[in-house]
Every structure is written in C-alpha cells, then in structure tokens.
Amino acid sequence: MATSSGAVASAAACSDPDTSKVDAANAQSGKNAILTIEKQGSFSVGGTVIEVPGTYESQNFDNWKPYPEGQTYHGDHASVFYQIPQNARDLSMVFLHGAGQSARTWQTTPDGRDGFQNIFLKRGFGTYLIDQPRRGQAGRSTVEAQITPVADEQMWFEVWRMGHWPKYSENVQFPQDEASLEQFFQWMTPNTGNFDANLVAGATAKVFDKSGAGILVTHSQGGLPGWMAATQTDKIAAVAAYEPGNYLFPENEVPEALPSRTGALQGIGVPMDEFKKLTGIPIVIYFGDYIPEVNEVSDDLGAENWRVRQELGRKFVETVNKYGGDATLVELPKIGVHGNTHFLFAELNNVELANLLSDWMKEKGLDKSK
Amino acid sequence: MATSSGAVASAAACSDPDTSKVDAANAQSGKNAILTIEKQGSFSVGGTVIEVPGTYESQNFDNWKPYPEGQTYHGDHASVFYQIPQNARDLSMVFLHGAGQSARTWQTTPDGRDGFQNIFLKRGFGTYLIDQPRRGQAGRSTVEAQITPVADEQMWFEVWRMGHWPKYSENVQFPQDEASLEQFFQWMTPNTGNFDANLVAGATAKVFDKSGAGILVTHSQGGLPGWMAATQTDKIAAVAAYEPGNYLFPENEVPEALPSRTGALQGIGVPMDEFKKLTGIPIVIYFGDYIPEVNEVSDDLGAENWRVRQELGRKFVETVNKYGGDATLVELPKIGVHGNTHFLFAELNNVELANLLSDWMKEKGLDKSK
C-alpha cells in the first residue's frame, strides 16, 4: 500500500520543502502526457418537474414578471461533465464533491496541477464529474434559497485542517502560496436550495445509468449520499470515500452519537436489506493527517470535525465486514503518508494518493480493460 | 459564406425532416474523431475579496452560525474550464454564455451531439468556457440573492423562438423530441447575485491574460459584457457574437430607444476612445430565423425580443464601420440558412453554423498555426 511514499517523505525534509514537493509532484504526475478523448460532453440526470396548472398565454407577458400559469420548471437534477479516453477501462469513475463544492474539486489542484479528473483519465478511466442538485451548473432548485455572502474562509481553513489561521499545519501538503489559497477559496459555490441527501443520492445513482458500471468516488458531505446511492443501483461496483461526513448502519445497530465541538455525529439507520447492499461491493475510505486519536472534545475545529467522522468510519467498516463485506479504512499517517488535510486528493502529494487508489482498484479487480 | 447550406436545405425538404437533419448533422460533425488534449483544467479570474475587520477566533465557533470577524470571502470571480488540443492554433477561443446559462451552453447539444466546445477543439482551437461571476460554478457572490423557483419554461420557449408553445416553429432546427427539450431546460441555472455587466466584462477580459490572444464568442446577454471586455484588453483579437442582447455606441451617437413588447432597447454610450477599440478588431454577429423585418410591436415574444436587437445590431455595425472598423452582421435566412432559434449554435445544423464561423475566421486570418 505504501506506494512511493518515500519520495514525498524525503522531499518534506529538504530546506525548501514547498518547491521540492511541487517538483516531485510534477515529475510524478506525467503532466506532459497527452489525453486522447474519444467522447466528452455534459448531461443532466434526476430532478423533478414543477407543472403549474392553467394555460400558458404568452400575451400575459408583463415586463419579465413571473406568470407561471400553465408553465413548467425543471429543477433538482444533477449536472455531469464526462470524458471517455481512448481504449477506456471497463469501469468508469464517477466523482461526487462535498459541501460548498462543485465538479471543480476534482479538476485542477489549487497550485495548477492535474487533479483526479486528469490523473485517472490518463490512467484510462472514463470520468464523470457531478455538480449535485442545487449546486454549481445544476443550480435550478424546486425550493427557495436565500444566498448571503458571509465571510467564513478562515473557519473553513481550520475545519479543513489546513492549519490554525494564519499558520499552516507543520509539513502540510496543501500549497502555502497566496495564489493557490485564493484559487482554492474560489472553488466554493453556494447551495441554491437546501442540501438534500436523498436528492443527491437519487441523482448520483442515475449517473450510472449513463456511465455504466463504475466506481463512485466521494468527498466529505458527498459520502453519505454516496453510500445511499450504492444501495439504489447495482451499477456502483465499488466506493472510494475521501473523509466521508457520515455513514449508514443497520437500523438496530446505529452507534451512540459521538459528541464533538462541531456538532454530535450519529450514523443513519436503514433496513438491514438495504445496508447489506454495501456488503456486496469493495469499499475504501481514506482519512488524512492532523486527526487526534484521543476522543476528547477540544476547541480545535479541524480535529473536532474529523475525529468523530474517522471514529464512526471505523465502526462502519467493522459493521460492513461483520456482515461479509469488504471495507477498508486507510488512516494515511499510519501508512507513512503525512501532511494531508481534508482536501487530500488535491494536494502536493495527490499523485501518491491516486497511486494508493489505483493499487486498491487493481487489488479488487476494478481496473480491467477489454 | 454559404458553406454547405445546400445540405441542410435539402434535408429540411425530406418527408421526415428531423431524422434526416440529425443524420446529416452527425455525418458532418465527424463525431468519431479523437480529441488529443495537451492540457486541460479549471481556474478562476477576477472577483473581489470581502475582508471583515476584527480578529478571527476559532473558539467563537457556534454550531456553524456565521461569525465573520477577521474573516475573508472571495466572490464575483469567473470560473473557467479550458482545454488545449495538441498542435493548437495561435489564437484560443473564449466562450461566454447568456442569461440563465452556464458553460453548458457550449458543451453537448440538447440532442447529445458535439457542441461548439468539441467542434472547435477538433478544429485545433484551445477553448475556454466561462461561468460568469455569480453563475454556475462561480456562484459565490458579494451581494445577496433570493432564489425562487418560478415556472417560466414556456415563456423562454417562446422568447427564444423555438415556437409558440406547444407548437414548434415550422422547419425549426431545434430538436423536437421530449428528451432534448428536457436536457435543454436543465441547462438553466440561476443568478446567485444580480447580473452585473461590468463584473462580467472585467472577468472576461482577464480570461485572456490566461488564454493569451484569442477570439471571444458570446451569446445573448453575454454580448454586451463581451463588447465591454474587448475595450479593456488588447488580447481580444476578434469577437463573434450570437444574437447579442445589446451594444456599445459612441456616447453622442446612441440611437433612440427601440420600443418592444419585451422592453424598449437602447444602446449603451461610451467615450469615443473606448468605442474606437471595437474598430480595431474584426467583428461578426449572427442572427437566426423567425425575426420579422417589420418594426412593429406585436404580442409575439420571440419576434419582439430579437427584432429590436437585430435592428440595433445593424446600427452598431454601421457605426463601427463608419469609424474604420470591420464588422459584419449575418442574418442567416438571408444567406439561405433557415430554421434557427436563439440557440442557433446548439441546433441540428450547428456544424453548418460552425463552418460559417470557421470561414469567417479564416477570411480574417484568425485561424493561423505556428
């Protein structure tokens, strides 16, 4: 599992760690490789249609004021950008972002290198990047939303474990230049209707009707609807979850809530036959660095928000495997991969993170080609 | 200019015009061609940063309630997805969508074929697709917004000249199957802050700092900020505008407002030295079908909304050329291209539309390669 982690460890020991890390990362990523794309484009899936009773009469037009009688409104769908490389592997990879994010999560890293989209395209996987219902390019929502600009970036810096503002965590893999941080903050994009895990799960499952069987890759808040989607379609062949926000459990086995400074965390109970669908596919979960072992509430928002989610992840894995499943939780520091924040797959060592995922997919027979 | 318009004209005369048109369009688009991409990814440009006075104190955290003291907020930037093909031509193409739309405008057509993004990548151009400030994946806005789902799709069907609901216009190039219309409606995504032409223009101009010199392609409401952007950077080498919503004029030569059922239209006055920047680059404007010649107010929303914009376009072209410019307005039906709505570049004959643009770029020396 400890694929080439030596390279990163030694780079971190250099006198100018950031430059060395970027060079190492660039060298690893094969950034000059040409992408050969057989097909690419976008589509929508899922969603609902509001149909207002009455008859549409165009002459009712009154200076762009709404006159909805007899009109329709499509909302709550997901928007997907896909790319299929030449000689693609059998399974596609479908990517679902987390809270406040969009497909951009998986594109370019904050410091301008290949994100998982390009890395896995170059490794032969068809990629499908979701903007979940009520987010990004899938912004039409069937419910109202008030969007208010509230300065919150320092809170996220801390919650996402980049460090304690304005100080970065020691040896952090997040790039520390100002331009990268600015690009990263600009990834954030608001909900245009409240987050609804059921909607997101339903649309995510439907993406696989288009992509065919594939591997679902989730991040953070996308974790929970990801597990839910995997219970709704047989076309999800595996799930790789980066620091998922929550988990499903059999309804009679939901662990007690874990207290945390950022809110107590409790798993979601579902009927056993639903839960058992998660025992039929390989599952891997990754957590990064700076997460304390000790389960004590503190004022450290980053530690607080992920301590309990990692701990509940352990219980999830245990429960899945108890019922015959194949789930693994990888705590990166324990395999010698240090310095990763909550955006682990987009940091300086993201090629190493991709290698770990590739190795896992190979081990589980998920990377076959015709 | 009348590139292969015969093919479409004859297809339209067949007994099953839709199927024939799709076949013809597929055959023309070379849809099986492999894309070779040297580089692709996303970035943000433009925008502003709110900095709230005070000191950030993480221990003020109170159950995700805002505590903005000492925090920042990045908003009003544009988000851009770019792709550079192998052996790219010297100039890139930068695409700016219209009202209620996002980068999706230029991706896949409603019936699932290559949009302008793929067509021009295959023709060797680097493409840059913008989500303008406060739209789509660039959703963080520095101003508040209330987003309300209002059923309005039949109004747009009419305003965009697909027909008079539920009837499509005769021989329309918009695909008439239900799935295509649904995908098309799902392209719409709301403002997350009010539309601000200055913001959009500024961010659009900055895209060219990343892309290098290029051709700006605008649609509809993107037209006005497109002209504005072209006065702000020398890197916009040409503008191709599809049915622009408004135009710049020298401040003393703004024509009288044109009355219309969808609102009187008046050009925007700017100082002469600013206007003159538009006389230094080639400009082409395209308008589709179903736009009446007669300037009489009627209850036909599609006719109303575009009759005055085409008419003002004629005056714009006349004024640009009077001051030594090189502007052309192409009224498609007058060169034998029939049946196009307001989304002309995404319809059944979109390869023919792309050919017209390619021919124009060639004529103006905009398609050179090293």
pLDDT in tens, A247-266: 999 999 999 999 999 999 99
Do residues A217 and A143 touch, judged by C-beta distance below 8 A? Answer: no
A263/B63 touch (CB, cutoff 8 Å), yes or no = yes
Percentage of residues of chain A with pLDDT beyond 70: 91
Residue B16 has pLDDT above 80, yes or no: no
Percentage of residues of chain B with pLDDT beyond 70: 91
pLDDT of res. B23: 43
Alpha helices in chain A (DSSP H): 5-12, 17-29, 116-122, 153-159, 178-185, 197-211, 223-230, 272-275, 301-322, 350-363
Per the prediction, chain A carries an average pLDDT of 92
B186/A74 touch (CB, cutoff 8 Å), yes or no = yes
Q: Is B150 helix (H, G, I), strand (E, B) or coil?
A: coil
Contact status of B324 with chain A (Cβ, < 8 Å): no
Do residues B283 and B241 touch, judged by C-beta distance below 8 A? Answer: yes
Element containing residue A283 per DSSP (H, E): strand A282-287
Q: C-alpha angle B114/A114/A167, rounded to 5°? A: 135
Q: Is A287 helix (H, G, I), strand (E, B) or coil?
A: strand
Do residues B267 and B249 touch, judged by C-beta distance below 8 A? Answer: yes
Contact status of A335 with chain B (Cβ, < 8 Å): no
Contact status of B35 with chain A (Cβ, < 8 Å): yes
pLDDT of res. B32: 55
* Domain assignments of chain B as residue spans, ordered by start: 5-363
From chain A, pick out residues whose CB is under 8 angstroms from the CB of B346. Answer: none
From A40, A58, A104, residue closest to B299, measured CB to CB? A58
Digit-coded pLDDT (tens) for B211-269: 999 999 999 999 999 999 999 999 999 999 999 999 999 999 999 999 999 999 999 99
Mean pLDDT of A130-149: 98
Confidence grade of residue B20 (pLDDT, cut at 50, 70, 90) = very low
B190/A139 touch (CB, cutoff 8 Å), yes or no = yes
From A52, A141, A182, residue closest to B74, measured CB to CB? A182
Contact status of B33 with chain A (Cβ, < 8 Å): no
Q: Which two tokens stand for residue B195?
A: 């539309």
Q: Look at strands A248-250 and A268-270 and give their pairing.
A: parallel
Contact status of A118 with chain B (Cβ, < 8 Å): yes
Do residues B242 and B220 touch, judged by C-beta distance below 8 A? Answer: yes
Confidence grade of residue A122 (pLDDT, cut at 50, 70, 90) = very high
Burial class of B167 by CB neighbour count within 10 A (0 to 12, 13 to 18, 19+): exposed
From A40, A73, A148, residue closest to B144, measured CB to CB? A148
Digit-coded pLDDT (tens) for A88-111: 999 999 999 999 999 999 999 999
A36/B35 touch (CB, cutoff 8 Å), yes or no = yes
Digit-coded pLDDT (tens) for B85-123: 999 999 999 999 999 999 999 999 999 999 999 999 999
The count of other CB atoms within 10 Å of the CB of residue A178 is: 8
Q: Which of residues 260-299 of A touch B (CB under 8 A)?
A: 261-263, 299
Residue A28 has pLDDT above 60, yes or no: no
Residue B19 has pLDDT above 50, yes or no: no
Q: C-alpha angle A120/A38/A31, rounded to 5°? A: 40
Contact status of B75 with chain A (Cβ, < 8 Å): yes
Do residues A241 and A283 touch, judged by C-beta distance below 8 A? Answer: yes
Mean pLDDT of B157-184: 97
Residues paired with A242 in a beta bridge:
A219, A286
Q: How many CB pairs under 8 A join A and B?
A: 251
**How near does any CA of chain B get to the CA of A280, in Å?**
33
CB-based burial, A228-251: b 16+ in 10 Å, e otherwise: bbbbbbebbbbbbbbbbbbbbbbe
Do residues B37 and A35 touch, judged by C-beta distance below 8 A? Answer: yes
From chain A, pick out residues whose CB is under 8 angstroms from the CB of B187. Answer: 44
Q: What's the start-to-end Cα distance of chain B, in Å?
A: 26
pLDDT of res. A32: 55
Among B220, B181, B164, B187, smallest CA distance to B18 is for B181
B152/A41 touch (CB, cutoff 8 Å), yes or no = no
Domain B5-363, CATH 3.40.50.1820 — does that match?
yes
Digit-coded pLDDT (tens) for B25-64: 444 444 458 999 999 999 999 999 999 999 999 999 999 9
Q: Which two tokens stand for residue A238?
A: 């595996």
Mean pLDDT of A286-312: 95
Residue to test with chain B: of A154, A159, A167, most B Cβ within 10 A: A154
Q: Which of residues 217-236 of A touch B (CB under 8 A)?
A: none
A144/B149 touch (CB, cutoff 8 Å), yes or no = yes
Mean pLDDT of A18-46: 70
Q: Which fold has domain A5-45+78-363?
A: Rossmann fold (3.40.50)
The count of other CB atoms within 10 Å of the CB of residue B111 is: 22
**Can you tell me the distance from the alpha carbon of B193 to that of B140, in angstroms, rounded to the nearest whole number?**
8
**Can you tell me the distance from the alpha carbon of B128 to that of B235, in angstroms, rounded to the nearest whole number?**
14
Digit-coded pLDDT (tens) for A207-231: 999 999 999 999 999 999 999 999 9
Q: Is B55 helix (H, G, I), strand (E, B) or coil?
A: coil
**How near does any CA of chain B get to the CA of A208, in Å?**
17
**How near does any CA of chain B get to the CA of A2, in Å?**
28
Element containing residue B168 per DSSP (H, E): strand B167-168
Residues 6+ apart with CB under 8 A from B217: B93, B94, B95, B96, B106, B116, B239, B240, B241, B242, B357
Q: Is B158 helix (H, G, I), strand (E, B) or coil?
A: helix
DSSP class per residue in A145-209: EEE-----HHHHHHHTTSEETTEEPTT-SS--SHHHHHHHHTT---BSS---HHHHHHHHHHHHH
pLDDT of res. A33: 84
pLDDT of res. A103: 98
For B140, the closest chain A residue by CA position comes to A189
Digit-coded pLDDT (tens) for B280-323: 999 999 999 999 988 889 999 999 999 999 999 999 999 999 99
